[in-house]
Structure formats: C-alpha cells, structure tokens
Amino acid sequence: MQITGSQFTNTAALYGNDLATFPDYPAEIRAPAGTLPGVSGFQIHFASEDVYTPGDAVDALVAMNPAALKMNLQDLRTGGILVVNVDNFKDADLRKAQMTSNPLEDRTLDGYRLFPVELTKLTRAALKDLGLDAKSMDRCKNFFALGMCYWLFNRPLDSTSRWLDAKFKSKPVLAEANKLALKAGFAYCDATDAFQVSYEIPAAKLPPGTYRNISGNSALALGFVAASQRSGLPLFQGSYPITPASDILHELSLYKHFGVTTFQAEDEIAAAAAVIGAAYAGQLAITTTSGPGMALKTEAIGLAISVELPMVICNIQRGGPSTGLPTKTEQADLFQALFGRNSEAPVPVLAPSTPGDCFWIALEASRLAVKYMVPVILLSDGYLANGAEPWRIPAVDDLPAIPVKFQEAVADFKPYARDPETLARPWAVPGVAGLEHRIGGLEKQDGTGHVSYDPANHSRMTHLRAEKIERMVRDVPEAAPVGDPEGDLLVVAWGSTFGAVTAAVRARRAQGRKIGHLHLRHLNPLPANLAEVLARYRKVLVPEINLGQLRYVLRARYLVDAIGFNKVEGKPFTISELEGKIEEVLQ
Amino acid sequence: MSAATTLPVYKKKDFQSDQDVRWCPGCGDYAILSAVQSVFPELGIPKEKFVVVSGIGCSSRFPYYMNTFGFHTIHGRAPAIATGIKLARPDLDVWVATGDGDALSIGGNHTIHMLRRNVGIKVLLFNNRIYGLTKGQYSPTSELGKKAKSTPYGSVDRPFNPAVLAVGAEATFVARSVDVFQPHLRATLKKAAAHQGSAFVEILQNCNIFNDGAWENLTHKDMRDDHTIALEHGQPLVFGKNRDKGIRLEGLDLEVVELGDGVSEDDLLVHDEHHESPCYAFALAHMDRRPGFPTPIGVLRAVDAPRYEDLTAGQIEQATAKKGPGSLADLLRAGDVWQVS
C-alpha cells in the first residue's frame, strides 16, 4: 500500500500538482493482513493550489478489506467516493476486522458514493495468461486499484510503468503483471463507466524552477551530502537502525562515491561515540536516531559539549515514552533536546518545518556546528520523515558556504584558546606535528585544556559553554510572523505543524481575523527579537504535538501567558481543529 | 614534499607529557606507562600520528601522561570513539588504554564489536581485577568469592577471562603480559604494534591499594615459573622452575605432563600463534581457569585478516572509481523531475 501511495504521489507531482502525503503504517513488519492492527494506509492531498497538509477529511477512499474500511471511514467526507474490494468482505474477513455485520449490506455506507469492485477477481482475470500462481497475482491487486485511481483523476500511467520496469528489472514477469493490473484497473473504469465522472486537477502555480518529490528523510540525507561538499569535509554517519530514522542511513550508504562513510554501529551509544571520534579526526560527523536512541546517546552528547567538537545529532521524533509508537509522529522530545543531559549542558536545537526544509536545516545545522565547535541537535519527526512534497531543486552555487578552519599554527597553540567572536576553540586534528595535546571529559582549564578542579575555572567554563550558544543568536534570523504583524493572536509553532498552522491561520485571516503565524526553526537559541514580537499580539497560542513543551519554554523565558493546543494521538493536526481552537481563543 | 623525510630520533622523554602522574605510589600503571613510553620511540612512527584514547577508570588517565594526541572519553566507550577516529583517519596509530571494568563491564559490547570487526586499534587492557577509581568494588574479572566494598559476603559473579573473551570474538591478535615483567611487556607491546588489525593485550596489573597481590602467584619469584608459561612461536610449551613440565595435546584437550620418564619435549604441543582456528588460542587462554595449569603469557594468537578501515575505505574507492566522484547537482536532480515555468 505504501508503494501504491508513493506511485500516485510521484505521478501527481510530475503532473505539476502541489501535494502533501501522510503514510500511516503499523510498527509490525508483517502484521496479519485484514486485521485492525495490520492496516497500512497512505493519504495524499493534491491540488492546483498551494497544499499545506495531507488534508483533514478525504474525498476518495480505497479500502482493500473491512479492517481498512473500519479504521478509515471516519475520515471520509459525507458524499465522498468509496471504493471497496468486495472479494475481501467474506465472513472470515469481517471476523478479522471484528465486525458483526457486513457494512456493504447494513446501510452503514449509505452516506457515501459506494463503488463495490471485485478487485481480486478482476486482477486475476487480467493476469490469467502470465502463468503466475494465485498468491503472486493477488499481490498485484493494489496496482489494479491504483489504475482505477489514475482513471478517476485523469493521470497518465507512464511514470508508474517506468518505475515497475526498473523495480522488477530482474523479474520481467512481475513488471508485466503489475503493469497489466494497472492498465486493467484503468480500462475497467473506462469500460464500465463505474465512476461516471472523472476529475481534472490542473497543475499548481508553484514558483518557477525544476522540481522533484522529496521526503524529509531523503532531504536530510541530501542536505548532509551538500554540507559535506560545501564544507570540503568528508561526511561520516554513525547510526544504529531505528524507526523512523533508518532511511537516512540507507540513503547515505548509497553515496560512497561522494566520499561518505556510513558506520552501522553495535548500538546507539557506539554510533554517537564513533561520531565523536570522526569529528575529533576532522570529518563532518552526524548521527541519526529517534527518541529512545537519543536517550542512549545522552552521555556522549555531554562529552561532545565538554570537548567542544562539532557534530549533528538528528532525532526523528516518534511517539513515546519508551518504545511508544515507533511509526507514529510526535513532537515530544523538545525538552529532551533542550534539557536532557546532566549538569549545565546547552546545545543548539533546530527543527525543520516541511519535508523539503529538512535539506536546508541539515546545511544550517552543519554550518553552525563547525562555526561554533558544538554538537547541534536537529529535531525532525516521523511525519516529516515519511511525508513527501514537491521540492524546488536549488542550484549548487546558491547553497550557503560552510567555511572550515583547522588549526595549523604550532606556535603558542592552546587547545582551548577561543575565537573572540564565536568563542569556538580551535579544531586541532591529530597528525599535525607540534599540535599534540590531550582533551577529555574532565573539566579543563580554559586555554591550556589541562585537567582543572579549580572552582573559579569551572564557573568560567560553565559560563563560556552557555555563552557560546547565546552568541549563536547572531546567526538566527529575527522572528518575522507571517500574516498580521500585530493584532489579536500570534500562533507560535515549530516543526512539522507548519502546514496545518499555515492553512488554519490563512483560513481564519480570510474571515477577517488579525492573526500572525510565527514558525520557529531555531529553538535554541531563540530569535533575539522574540520577546518584542510576542508583545505585539493580544494573545499567544502554541499548538504542539505534545503536552506543551515550547509553551513551557516561552512562558518561563518571556513571562507570556501563552495558551496551549495539544494533541498526542500519533497523528498531525487537522486544519479544522486548529481553526476551531483559534476561534475559541479569539472569543 | 619528499616522502623520504627522515623521522626524528625519539627518546622516551619525547613521549612524556608535562603533566604530573597521579596514580597511587606503587601502582602497576607506572610500569605500563614506562614500557609504552619506551616502546613508542622505537616503532618508526611520527609522534604526531599517535592517538591514545581511553575510557574511565585509573588506567584511563593514561593519555594525559603521553605526549601524543590523547582523548580521555567516557566510561566504556573508548573502542567506539577510537573506531570513529580510525575510520576517519586510517593513517593514525590509535591505541586504547582501558581497564577490566571499563572494557569488560560497561564497555563490553564495544570491546567485542571492535575486535570482531578487526579495526586496526591496539587495546591495552590493564587488568587489576578491581574497581580502583571508585574505591574498591569487585570487577568483572574478580575471582568468585571476592570480598570487596560491594561484596562483603563475597562475589557470586563468575568472572570473565579477558583473553578468552577476545578469542571468542575472534580477535586477530591476543596477547597477555604482566606489569612487572618489563622486558616481556615491552616485547609484547612491540608485537602488538606491528600487528595489522585489532591487537588486544591484557596486562596483568597490581592495585596495591584495593587489590594488592592480585597476581602474586604469577609474579612472586618463588612461584612465577610454576604458575606461568611464556609462549614462544615455534617452541614447545615448557614451564616450571626447572623447566620440567609441559603441555601436551590429549584428544581435543590439553594436559599438563611432567617431563622425563618417557615424556620429552618432542611430545609437547609446539606453540603456533598463527593457528587459523581460534579453538587453539581458546584452549591456551582458558588454561589458567584449570587447577594445575599455568597462566600463559605472550602472544596467544596472531592471524591476518582484512582491516575494517581498509574495507570501508575500499568501498568508497571502488564506488568512486566505478561511478566517478559524485556530482551534487546530479544527485539533487536524481529521479523524476519536472519543470515549472
């Protein structure tokens, strides 16, 4: 189902629609088909206008079995198109979905435009001459459904056909089977007039340029390769497999010809530790993980702060605590990123707003890490990681430069001498005669780096480590809300809620409300003018997919009476619920 | 610049840092530090290429006293950090100083994985069978029944034998020496330095504060010859004060035999450190667990295997040779793209 969804996505993108997707799948690899926990879904919102979210209610739903219908019917708008595979609505299928009566017969579906299709039978009939067994034929039925969707929305089949040829290069019969199923689904609609009408969604008016589809994880991988090229530093990734971050490791392991080293470590701790080693040896070092892995890396991040080495730690957040909801999204690791270490251990924290923004935030995190000689935490989430959107491909020359300076001068070298502007210490990599020195996690004397237990020195070093992060505010763009520059309400948000908040604020402003939307990409340090911006609005609303972590920070730091809107269902906000909250706050 | 730039002639003092050594007076670590500082000048490696990495514990203060690049890291993680250094810079000569608690308890996972990957790192495991820095708790190598701060009724933990563990991970170089056997220790360190791949050296070390006499039966002059056996490649396994005992193969097992009375050195096992099967080294390493058997010192195992960092760099080279150096512009435009005008 995920493949079918991504194929529809690519086809819509190539057609020129703007779009957003929401893949929603179980944590189990092969959860029993037809059961409620086994439902794998893919939601796509595509349009001829700007798209900010995968959409609240859906206009068309394809349900391959009763379980899929039961789990998703509440999202289908009244009067919406509902395609079901009737071959999978036998008594046994209903039992698997814990249904006592057949919804195709009990009038449950009266409010929808129901299209019962014998998807399994029709697919088998289309493939009968290929000599495949029944199981192999049935695996093609999703492509029959995809063919029907292509007819419904007037999409060409060629992009998916090309993809199938490439995917099954070594098994041409399977390429043929899936293509036949795709065409059969399309032809079925043509011949039967099943839908009566089809829909034309013209291309969206996006800014001029060359576009591709991109998911957040893929954008992060590309962003780090770009950062490696712009800095001239070889990229080193040390990671341990974890959902939903593993795709970054998979993708970067393909890019060895870019000089990328990927190290699949024995555990999360070793991944972070190897990254510290690679950073010490002069590489652009990154590790990628999710919340539980982040917890294991905590001590290593503390070491990186203490020895002042640059690296980027990506946390692709998921529902928690503990193992939590591995495949579902959440934004609840902000406190962990900001405060989750022993002692005074500040780190910069950045968060991308959209899948495409993951590319830019990877570059920015890398740039800040090497400029200030600090570990940087990058907070993405499962929704950004797997969601896709059209992305305007930048020209390489337009990418930001990432200047790097290694210590070369031997005379008067001190490992903890400081750049007067950034307070960064020199990056003195092994192999340079005359620079031999010792560093470590024990407190060091500023300047010499010798072990020091001196009380005044510890105070000085603690303040220096904090001030280094505070000075980084010079690299943080000023807060500039979108919408009304002052007024009744400022909606402050961060991370993957960008699309839903943008759409909700736009809709309410169209109704005459005076609202600004501020989306924070830098969560530490916060923009220098934030206090002043917050004061320009009568009320401040902070919607988050957690119980109010950014709100807590804003209240503590700016003494602002921020109102929270919080949801922890493993799902993103819908536009309508945000609009509802905005109206409630404005009353 | 000419590749034939001559290497400076180093002396021991070139490898001594300006930091005061702060181990307890009488600690075995002094002897190990002295041996390492004596051996490094003789290795023919530029001083700036040495990186000494450590974890946490008494032994892990080691890098501060070496006038090389040094990194005192966090508890147990030195092998992982060293792996990152070696992957990034295979040209560096990376040494890890660690202890029985650091390498086998909190960092046991990293130790075995570094060894099985065969990363080109030399590991010096200072084994004093006690936690020293935290003031006297039993360690994963403490003997069963050990009475220590946290085991007033005696330890009920079965101990690790570090060499057995290393051989179990199929380490390509496993050796053992003793802090007070200076010539033997220096010779063993040189062999480790020459090994291509992970070199694991267990150094039996005395903690005169919390575990004094930990290895006395091996080091006391009246006992050592009967309780140790010095392994020499190609030589029969003979030991004893009067060189009157040996190790013989009996079926799949080893046995201790008295020489004479029909048993000669020709009947004994001849040490082969290059034996491909780790079972041989395992049998040797395991001897000191058995009553009547001596503790082997020297090189138990030294076999060739590809180094992890070479395989990793090789994949990058091969991919680059095949595809050409990556073009970022092409990468960003890979797959289906479309124009909006």
What would the pLDDT profile of B289-306 be if each residue is shown by its tens digit? 899 999 999 999 999 999
Spans of all domains in chain A: 2-192, 212-398, 482-586
Please tell me the predicted confidence (pLDDT) of residue B336: 85
With 60 as the cut, is the pLDDT of residue A258 above it?
Answer: yes
**Which pLDDT does position A286 carry in this prediction?**
98
A223 touches A360 (CB < 8 A): yes
Q: Which of B59, B73, B341 to mutate to test the interface with A (most CBs of A within 10 A)?
A: B73
Q: In this predicted model, what pLDDT tens digit does every residue of B150-208 receive, in sequence order?
A: 999 999 999 999 999 999 999 999 999 999 999 999 999 999 999 999 999 999 999 99
In the prediction, which pLDDT does A25 show? 85
Average pLDDT over residues A433-438: 98
A390 preceded by a cis bond (ω within 30 of 0): no
Chain B hits for A255, Cβ within 8 Å: 326, 331
H or E stretch including A463?
A: helix A455-471
Q: CATH assignment of A2-192?
A: 3.40.920.10
pLDDT mean over A371-389: 96
Chains A and B form CB pairs within 8 A to the count of 209
**pLDDT band, residue A28 (cuts 50/70/90):** confident
- DSSP letters spanning A185-196: HHHHHHHH-SSS
Taking the C-alpha atoms of residue A197 and residue A189, their distance in angstroms, rounded to an integer, is 10
> Which among A212, A269, A442 has CB closest to B72?
A442
Q: Are strands A209-215 and B337-340 parallel, antiparallel or unpaired?
A: antiparallel
Note the pLDDT tens digit of each residue in B95-139. 999 999 999 999 999 999 999 999 999 999 999 999 999 999 999
pLDDT at B2: 47
The reported pLDDT for the residue numbered B3 is 52
The answer to whether the CB of B226 falls within 8 A of the CB of B220 is no
CB atoms within 10 A of CB B113: 18
| pLDDT for res A517 | 98
d(CA B62, CA B71): 10
Identify the CATH homologous superfamily for domain B12-235+271-314: Thiamin diphosphate (ThDP)-binding fold, Pyr/PP domains (3.40.50.970)
Contact A269 B77 (CB under 8 A): yes
Percent share of chain B, pLDDT over 90: 95
Beta bridge partners of B263: B260
Q: How far is B47 from chain A (nearest CA, A)?
A: 7
**pLDDT, tens digit, for every residue of A191-249?**
887 787 888 889 888 899 999 999 999 999 999 999 999 999 999 999 999 999 999 99
* pLDDT higher than 80, residue A578: yes
Rounded-to-integer distance, Cα A443 and Cα A458, Å: 7
| Domain A212-398 part of CATH 3.30.360.10 | no
pLDDT score of A411 more than 80: yes
* Across A40-54, A364-378, A549-563, least confident range: A40-54
Average pLDDT over residues A392-404: 97
Token pair of A343 as six digits: 């002692």
Bridge pairing between strands B130-131 and B137-138: antiparallel
Rounded to an integer, the average pLDDT of B43-58 is 97
Report chain A's mean pLDDT, rounded to a whole number: 96
What's the mean pLDDT in B249-272?
Answer: 96
Listed residue (B98, B116, B96, B104) closest to B168, CA to CA: B116
Q: Per-residue confidence at B1, pLDDT binned at 50, 70, 90?
A: very low
What residues of chain A lie within 8 A of the CB of B331, using their CB? 222, 225, 255, 258
Is B88–A261 a contact, with Cβ atoms under 8 angstroms apart?
yes
Q: Which of B123, B83, B119 has the alpha carbon at shortest distance from B100?
A: B123
- Chain A nearest-CA residue for B313: A261
- Average pLDDT of A111-120? 94
- The terminus-to-terminus CA distance of chain A in angstroms comes to 43
Please tell me the distance from the alpha carbon of residue A137 to that of residue A457, in angstroms, as a whole number.
72
Look at residues A492, A547, A72 and name the one whose alpha carbon lies nearest to residue A319: A547
Using CB atoms, which residue from B19, B110, B333 is nearest to A393? Answer: B333
To the question of domain A482-586 being in CATH 1.10.3720.10, the answer is no
Cβ atoms within 10 A of the Cβ of A251, count? 21
Whether the pLDDT of residue B330 is over 80: the answer is: yes
Q: Which of A110, A111, A91, A115 is nearest to A102 (CA)?
A: A91
HSE, side-chain direction, 13 A CA sphere, residue A277: 36
Q: What is the radius of gyration, based on Cα positions, of chain A?
A: 26
- For every residue of B75-109, DSSP letters joined together read TT-HHHHHHHHHHH-TTSEEEEEEEHHIIIIITHH
The yes-or-no answer to whether A2-192 and A212-398 have a common fold is: no
Give the strand pairing for A209-215 and A388-392. antiparallel
Q: Which of B48, B73, B334 sits opposite A441 (nearest CB)?
A: B73
pLDDT at B4 over 70: no
Identify the CA nearest to B172 among candidates B153, B192, B152. Answer: B192
pLDDT band, very low/low/confident/very high, at A375 (cuts 50, 70, 90): very high
Domain ranges in chain B are 12-235+271-314, 237-269
Separation in Å, CA of B95 to nearest CA in chain A: 13
